[in-house]
Amino acid sequence: MIIAERSEFRKYASVNPHFSKVCDFLENTDFTTVEDGRVDIDGDAVFANFMTYEADGVPGQQFETHKKGSIISCVESLLSMQLFL
């Protein structure tokens, strides 16, 4: 699991062959203009799901885990984005 600021994410690009595409997307996307829904970065190999919500302020008990694939979760203001690798 990587927990990092968006500005520091590129230093993890060697962890996964798709991370450089994710880094480019994070660095070059104005998240204030993205509408909720799926955004393809590299077809089904790498894509983002954007959703707007208001958090309940209650911390979770544990981080989400996955047996297959990777998910990068980013939270900025009221926007949540999940990147699927």
CA 39 to chain centroid, in Å, comes to: 11
Contact 25, 41 (CB under 8 A): yes
CB-CB contact of 49 with 38 (8 Å): yes
Mean pLDDT for 34-55 is 82
pLDDT digits 0-9 by tens, 37-46: 888 888 888 8
| Contact criterion met (CB below 8 Å) for 18 and 1 | no
What pLDDT, on the 0 to 100 scale, is given for residue 22? Answer: 84
- 63, pLDDT greater than 60: no
Question: Tokens 């208001």 sit at which residue?
Answer: 54
Whether pTM > 0.85 for this model: the answer is no
